[in-house]
Amino acid sequence: MTYPRVLLQNRRPDRIATLEEYRASGGYEALAMVLGVGRTRREVAATLEAAVLLGRGGAAFPTGRKMMSVAEDAPFPRYVICNADEMEPGTFKDRVLIHADPHMLIEGIILAGYAVAATQGIVFIRPEYESAARILEREIGVARAAGYLGPRILGSDYALDIVVHRSGGRYICGEVTAQINALMGRRPNPQQPPPYPTEKGLWGRPTLTNNAETLACLPHIVRHGPEWFKKLSLTPGGAGTKLFCISGRVNRPGCVELPMGVPLREIIETHAGGMAGGGRFKACLPGGASTGFLPAAHYDIPMDLDSLRAVGNRLGTGAIMVFDQDCCLVAATRNLIEFFARESCGWCTPCREGLPYIRDLLTRLENGQGRGEDIPALRRLSRHLWKSYCAFAPGAAAPVESLLDHFADEVQAHITGGGCPFGPQPRTPGPPAAGGA
């Protein structure tokens, strides 16, 4: 099956698309249209709302609605932030996007900025993406020279500039409010709303934050209209395309752009070259480390928000991490919890204390020292994670809870058999279980 490519239409194997190449594909026409006909800020937001553009950063919040929550009479200056932190394990789409077509993202940021009357744009980027940061800095300069940025963009009275902000590197910096603290040179702990960042964000001013992939959709929606965007989806409930990152036990790991709603089976068998080594699909995490294990019974599920929600899972970032019959999901969960325990910002107790505890129980199970009572203990501790200060810890609970829901047999086999039924697994990073081997 081939499908229309939108976000990665100018992707080349070895280099970025230049400004000319982006323009030849219709680039910056949306901006010229919006500024030329003097489309109002509200009209831009309403177009995105009508297109059912939902945030691609993991939380799936409606983009148009978020823009409209910046009040007409809100104070200035206002900020627009492109979230390119992308630290969700399994996720690398923003990296691919920036390396493919930086001007698409730049135009998206300008359009988003226009929709909330922002005068300053910021790309927040993880330090591992230094080459992407340099590409953006250079191409922002190119865009400025061409009149797409700076004072009086394309001769209009709209002014915006964009800077690239390098993070020092921590997962929590991807969370909007923690990111705003990071940008202000504060320790990046989250800040529970209200006030919402769109009301009081960076330096106390209205701030719109969107994921890089979300922003890259804007030029296309503005140019082709909401109906076109909705029809890109294979399923009626979805809209647009999605950048799926496929990794793990497949033959061709990578990032592919596919219509929203494409079946999981097709993604794996057609677009990721099938299961590695002729293995059998056992489960995947459909949207990064903060989503639950999706068992093989759902191998044909359409990959969109509604379908995954209907089975108690989430599309998350669209990072599909694939496991075959030889992967031990207890060990995999143990690895994920090591990630979360390490990256916890430490601000609130359920997360800071709960995660090492869960890691400990999983390590014991994996080492064959587990006991029957560990399973209800894992349940209880996972529920405590939901009482945390930000969405980080509930995300960490997802793999644990889904492990208990869908792979109870596998967990039990570790207890009954006194060890891992899959044989020796790679040593898990992090400390050994307290009092254990």
Partner 1 sequence: MLPEHIREPLIQKIAAAEHPRELVVDVLLALQGHYGHLSDPAMEEAAGLLAMTPLELEELATFYTFLYREPVGRYVIHVCDSLICWMEGAERLGDHIGRRLGIAPGQTTADGLFTLLPVCCIGYCDRAPAILVNGRAHGPLTPESLDRLLEDLRAKAADGPAPGAGPERGTP
Ligand X SMILES: Cc1cc2nc3c(=O)[nH]c(=O)nc-3n(C[C@H](O)[C@H](O)[C@H](O)COP(=O)(O)O)c2cc1C
Q: How far is CA 40 from CA 37, 204, 206, 222, in A?
A: 9, 25, 18, 12
> Least distance (Å) from ligand SF4 to the CB of residue 74?
27
Interface with ligand SF4 (CB under 6 A), residue total: 14
> How far, in Å, CA of 425 to CA of 422, rounded?
7
Closest to partner 1 by CB, 216 or 222: 216
Closest separation in Å from C-beta 432 to ligand X: 27
Per CB under 6 A, the list member of 120, 167, 181, 210 interacting with ligand X is 210
CA 175 to chain centre: 10
Site string for ligand SF4, 182-201 (x = CB under 6 A): --------x-----------
Residues 6+ apart with CB under 8 A from 168: 127, 182
Which residues fall within 8 angstroms of residue 72, CB to CB, at 6 or more apart? none
Rounded Cα distance between 213 and 225, Å, is: 18
For residue 159, give every residue at least 6 positions away whose Cβ sits within 8 Å of its Cβ, in sequence order, or none. Answer: 119, 150, 151, 152, 153
Residues from 313 through 372 that contact ligand SF4 (CB under 6 A): 344-348, 351-352
Binding mask 59-78 vs ligand X (x if CB under 6 A, - otherwise)? x-x-x---------------
Q: How far apart are CA 330 and CA 377, in angstroms?
A: 15
Count CB-CB contacts under 10 A for residue 181: 20
Question: By Cβ distance, which residue is nearest to ligand SF4?
Answer: 351
Structure tokens at 432: 């050994």
Residue 269, classed as helix, strand or coil, is helix
Instruction: Answer with the entry of ligand X, ligand SF4, partner 1, none that 211 interacts with (C-beta below 5 to 8 A by kind).
Output: ligand X
Q: List the one residue from 35, 172, 330, 361 that touches ligand SF4 (CB under 6 A).
A: 172
Q: Which residue(s) pair with 161 in the sheet?
A: 120
Q: From the CB of 376, what's the least distance to ligand SF4, in Å? A: 23
The β-bridge relationship of strands 319-324 and 207-211 is unpaired
- The residue type found at 38 is G
The listed partner (ligand X, ligand SF4, partner 1, none) that binds 59, CB under 5 to 8 Å by sort, is ligand X
**Beta-carbon-side half-sphere exposure of residue 395 (alpha carbons within 13 Å):** 25
Q: Which residues in this chain contact partner 1 in the complex, by CB under 8 A? A: 86-92, 95, 126-131, 134, 165-171, 182-188, 203, 245, 247-249, 253-255, 289, 319, 321, 323, 327, 332, 335-336, 338-339, 342-343, 345, 426-429
- From start to end of 53-142, where are the E strands? 79-84, 120-125
Determine if 175 is a binding residue for ligand X (CB under 6 A): yes
Q: Please count the residues of this chain forming the interface with ligand X, following the rule CB under 6 A.
A: 24
- Which one of residues 27, 55, 201, 206 is an interface residue with ligand X (CB under 6 A)? 55
Question: Least distance from C-beta 22 to ligand SF4, angstroms?
Answer: 37
Which residues of the chain form contacts with ligand SF4 (CB under 6 A)? 172, 190, 344-348, 351-352, 388-390, 392-393
Contact positions toward ligand X, by CB under 6 A? 55-59, 61, 63, 83, 85-88, 171-172, 174-176, 209-211, 214, 390-392
